Amino acid sequence: MNMLSVKNLTVFYENAIAINKLSISVNKDEIVGVIGPNSAGKTTLMNTISGLMLDTKLKEDRRGGIRISIFGTIEFLGENISNTWPDKRVRKGIALCRERHPVFGESDVEENLKISGYLSSKEQLKESLSLVYDTFPKLLAMRRRKAGLMSGGEQQMLAIGIALMARPRLLLLDEPLLGLSPNIQAQLVEAIKKIKQQTNMTILITEQFARPLIPIIDRGYVIENGMFAFGGNKDELYGNPDVRKAYFGVDYDEE
Amino acid sequence: MLLSVLVYGFINSVILAMVALGFSITFGISRVANFSHGGFYILGGIFTWYGLIKLGMPYFLSAGLSIIIIGALGALMYKVILIRLRGLELSEVIATLSLGIVILELLRGLGVFGYEFRNPVFMDGSVDILGVGVGIQRIIIVCAGALLLILLHFFVHHTKMGLAFRGVAQQEHTALSVGINPDLVSMLSLAMGSVMCALSAVLILPLGVISVDEGYDILIKALAVCIIGGLESTLGVLVAAFIIGYIEVLTSMYISSALTSVVPLACMLGILLVRPSGIFGKSKEIEERV
């Protein structure tokens, strides 16, 4: 079943094109990867799917700042949500874990999670809390720690926890492995796998260096300069020598 | 003499804290500096007076209605004016300041001046504290202030909406991406700040006459307390209120009561020179460790 389909999405910042006629689709129960270098448009894509781009655009318009133009459609479960505001999209079931783990720095871990359970009932909040603590036992041990004082890896775990608290059907993870040590990366990949098994969430995940993700994704898109460059299931991705060299750090003769 | 400095300084400090709290709450959550604070304060007092004296309503009803009206006015100001100016700090200040001046000067034009405009105290009489006679109204103010702080703490840390307030105050886009609507939160924060402003007016104005100039004075005091304490810190507001409160009382008792109105501004300028972000202001103590 088709869950998310982005059709002919084009995003301009003034005259600079960030996303160029990009179409991607995500089916229910899949983990889909979007792989691309810096400035390929990964974060713009995620912010447009979650709707944050609408808010940014509005603020820029009010201020008379950068002119942002968005074309194309975004459909979620068959419904056109292109003009739906981000908080409404969360209600429909899309939650984004933003790039570079912007958590609520002044609050402790538990308060971060409680803030993010804004839309849940009391029982749901309890349930989500135990899911997050179950997935990241480290967070349970640090639940009274001020989030701003945690390390990057811990903050990333919390950021994913924050998105989980919104109880999404489609979880968007924007570069969750960025800037973290291989050890922490492995822990996070394990955690994402576990989330998938326990909740049946559909997951769309962007990354630059995709090797750690290959074991868990079903399909992947490679985007460059905001355009579709290559797509396929993980074997096809791994089988393509160019993709393998650029995004998996594996050379032709190395195996 | 020393004891009366102690007692009256304490009461004066609580009054300052109450006046500043509404301003600080609104700014801390939505980053809107509500410069119509003084206007709302006097308007709250005048509405209470009008309901009580002119319409003959019971005191609590008239006061309650005024507080609700002022809260709605704050929300309306956000919905109609400020929402179009979000992020343009200077325009926000100009808009709220003009609204405050319009309110105050309109009241002046309508003839709000003189001894007639006076809300009665809730309860007559006085109590002896440490050998100093203190009017019951002042005792009520101190108790209400303490109660307000406790309620506020509970609200912010233990209710869903309060937690959403904290979320928006810290990371607007992260809050938005888990379903919190920052515009709704900002509007409610203005309503809440205005409610606190009107509440302090209802409690404090019976100590004197309602005058338009008091509105400007209140705005300056609230601003001074918030800037000295650090603009978004509730603890800072308390500490700053006690600093200014005691200095004011000391000045009026030992130097000259004519100089008390200079104290908040002088303290504010002093702090701006030494520590521009205020005593408890966030001067990047928690740097993001990446």
Q: How far apart are CA A172 and CA A175, in angstroms?
A: 10
Taking only the tens place, the pLDDT of each residue in B209-228 is 999 999 999 999 999 999 99
Residue pair B76/B211 in contact by the 8 Å Cβ criterion = no
Domain boundary among A142, A167, A192: A167
Give the bridge partners for A5, in sequence order. A25, A75
Domain boundary among A125, A152, A167: A167
Assess whether A40 and A141 both reside in one domain. Answer: no
Assess whether A110 and A30 both reside in one domain. Answer: no
pLDDT at B208 over 80: yes
ipTM for the complex shown: 0.92
- Distances in whole angstroms, Cα of residue A96 to Cα of each of A90, A93, A116, B257: 9, 10, 12, 58
pLDDT at A255 over 50: no
Residues of A in contact with B180 (CB under 8 A): 87, 115, 118
Interface check B174 vs A, CB under 8 A: yes
Q: Encode burial over A19-54: b for 16+ CB neighbours within 10 A, e otherwise.
A: bbebebebeeebbbbbbbeeebbbbbbbbbbbbbbb
Among A217, A164, A227, smallest CA distance to A189 is for: A217
Taking only the tens place, the pLDDT of each residue in A106-156 is 999 999 999 999 999 999 999 999 999 999 999 999 999 999 999 999 999
The mean pLDDT of chain A is 93
Name the token pair of A189. Answer: 């990949």
Residue of B86, B160, B170 lying closest to A118 (CB–CB): B160
Using the beta-carbon criterion (under 8 Å), do B288 and A105 form an inter-chain contact? Answer: yes
Residue pair B165/B181 in contact by the 8 Å Cβ criterion = no
Q: How far apart are CA B179 and CA A158, in angstroms?
A: 17
Assess whether A56 and A135 both reside in one domain. Answer: no
The mean pLDDT of chain B is 92
Q: How far apart are CA B229 and CA A143, in angstroms?
A: 29
Residues of B in contact with A86 (CB under 8 A): 176-177
Q: CA angle, corner A31, sides to A212 and A81, nearest 5?
A: 130
Assess whether A83 and A115 both reside in one domain. Answer: no
Using the beta-carbon criterion (under 8 Å), do A107 and B86 form an inter-chain contact? Answer: no
- Distances in whole angstroms, Cα of residue B255 to Cα of each of B13, B133, B247, B263: 19, 22, 11, 12
For helices B212-229 and B89-109, angle between their N-to-C axes, nearest 10 degrees: 150
Q: How far apart are CA B230 and CA B225, in angstroms?
A: 8
Assess whether A89 and A177 both reside in one domain. Answer: yes
CA distance B236 to chain A (A): 16
Q: How far apart are CA B185 and CA B93, in angstroms?
A: 19
- Distances in whole angstroms, Cα of residue B122 to Cα of each of A204, B68, B134, B269: 62, 19, 14, 37
Using the beta-carbon criterion (under 8 Å), do A106 and B166 form an inter-chain contact? Answer: yes
Residue of B84, B166, B177 lying closest to A95 (CB–CB): B177
Using the beta-carbon criterion (under 8 Å), do B176 and A52 form an inter-chain contact? Answer: yes
Neighbours of B109 (CB within 10 A): 9
Within B156-207, strands assigned E span none
A162 burial via Cβ count (<10 Å: 0-12, 13-18, 19+): buried
Residue of B nearest to A92 (CA): B179
Query: Minimum mean pLDDT among A21-25, A59-63, A219-223: which range?
Result: A59-63
| Torsion sign (Cα): B253, B254, B257, B262 | negative
Name the token pair of B248. Answer: 């004011």
Residue A146 is classified by DSSP as B
Using the beta-carbon criterion (under 8 Å), do B286 and A106 form an inter-chain contact? Answer: yes
Query: Minimum mean pLDDT among A78-82, B203-207, B284-288: which range?
Result: B284-288
Interface test with B, best of A84, A87, A92 (most B CBs within 10 A): A87
Interface check A55 vs B, CB under 8 A: yes
Using the beta-carbon criterion (under 8 Å), do A87 and B179 form an inter-chain contact? Answer: yes
Residues of B in contact with A55 (CB under 8 A): 173, 176
CA distance A126 to chain B (A): 14
Residue of A52, A91, A151 lying closest to B173 (CB–CB): A52
Amino acid in position B217 = D
* Residue A63 belongs to domain with CATH number: 3.40.50.300
pLDDT at A97 over 90: yes
Q: How far apart are CA A109 and CA A129, in angstroms?
A: 11
Assess whether A46 and A152 both reside in one domain. Answer: no
pLDDT at B188 over 50: yes
Assess whether A111 and A61 both reside in one domain. Answer: no
Taking only the tens place, the pLDDT of each residue in B194-206 is 999 999 999 999 9
Interface check B81 vs A, CB under 8 A: no
| Torsion sign (Cα): A237, A239, A243, A249 | positive
Residue of B163, B170, B179 lying closest to A90 (CB–CB): B179
Residues of A in contact with B166 (CB under 8 A): 104, 106-107, 111, 115
Assess whether A175 and A252 both reside in one domain. Answer: yes
Assess whether A20 and A131 both reside in one domain. Answer: no
Among B74, B61, B65, smallest CA distance to B22 is for: B74
Using the beta-carbon criterion (under 8 Å), do B179 and A118 form an inter-chain contact? Answer: yes
Assess whether A54 and A30 both reside in one domain. Answer: yes
Q: Which B residues in the span 13-72 are in contact with A, Cβ-Cβ below 8 Å?
A: none
CA distance B177 to chain A (A): 6
Interface check A148 vs B, CB under 8 A: yes
Assess whether A78 and A182 both reside in one domain. Answer: yes
pLDDT at B115 over 90: no
Using the beta-carbon criterion (under 8 Å), do B288 and A148 form an inter-chain contact? Answer: yes
Q: How far apart are CA B249 and CA B247, in angstroms?
A: 6
Q: How far apart are CA B137 and CA B247, in angstroms?
A: 22
- For the residues A159-180, what does the mean pLDDT come to? 96
pLDDT at A39 over 50: yes
Domain boundary among A140, A167, A194: A167
Q: Encode burial over B218-230: b for 16+ CB neighbours within 10 A, e otherwise.
A: bbbbbbbbbbbbb
Count chain A–chain B contacts defined by CB atoms under 8 A.
Answer: 95
Give the bridge partners for A22, in sequence order. A9
- Distances in whole angstroms, Cα of residue B109 to Cα of each of B40, B52, B62, B186: 16, 21, 23, 32
Residue pair B228/B244 in contact by the 8 Å Cβ criterion = yes
Residue pair B174/A103 in contact by the 8 Å Cβ criterion = yes
At residue A253, the pLDDT reads 55
At residue A5, the pLDDT reads 96
* A224 contacts: CB under 8 Å, gap ≥ 6: A36, A37, A40
- Counted domains in chain A: 2
| Rounded percentage of chain A residues whose pLDDT exceeds 90 | 85
Within chain A, strands assigned E span 2-13, 16-27, 31-35, 68-76, 79-80, 94-97, 170-174, 202-207, 219-224, 227-233
Residue B120 is classified by DSSP as P
Assess whether A148 and A122 both reside in one domain. Answer: yes
Taking only the tens place, the pLDDT of each residue in B12-50 is 999 999 999 999 999 999 999 999 999 999 999 999 999
Residue pair A146/A105 in contact by the 8 Å Cβ criterion = yes
Residue pair A181/A146 in contact by the 8 Å Cβ criterion = no
Q: Give residue A126's domain range.
A: 102-167
Among A106, A131, A204, A179, smallest CA distance to B175 is for: A106
